[in-house]
Amino acid sequence: MNCETCRFWSDKLAQAMGGPMEAYCLSQDGPLKARYTRALESCTAWQDAPLGAVDSGSDDDPRYGNPYDGLDDVEPTEMQQGLIPIPDGYAEQ
């Protein structure tokens, strides 16, 4: 069981920075939470995704609930705070 088949592997937040595609982990308590992970990584928070990722539907999809509930209390990462510079060629749009 790996990130690619996990319900917390984002359908909407992904990047490919000169290597394999990575998607954001939306788990609220897993060891890989709130970071980009590769498809073949795995962790203890893995959950089956028969309905797709938690962010594949609307934010209030009753099948999964709102994956963003409670995230207002999470400390932003260094990149979100602007402490890590964005590499040349990846300017914000």
Domain spans of the chain, in order of start: 1-93
Decide: 25 and 9 in contact? Cβ < 8 Å. yes
Looking at residue 53, what is its pLDDT? 87
Closest CA to 9 of 86, 90, 21: 21
Q: pTM value?
A: 0.60
Region 18-38: what's the mean pLDDT? 92
More confident residue, 63 or 2: 2
CA distances (Å), origin 89, targets 51, 71, 81: 35, 30, 19
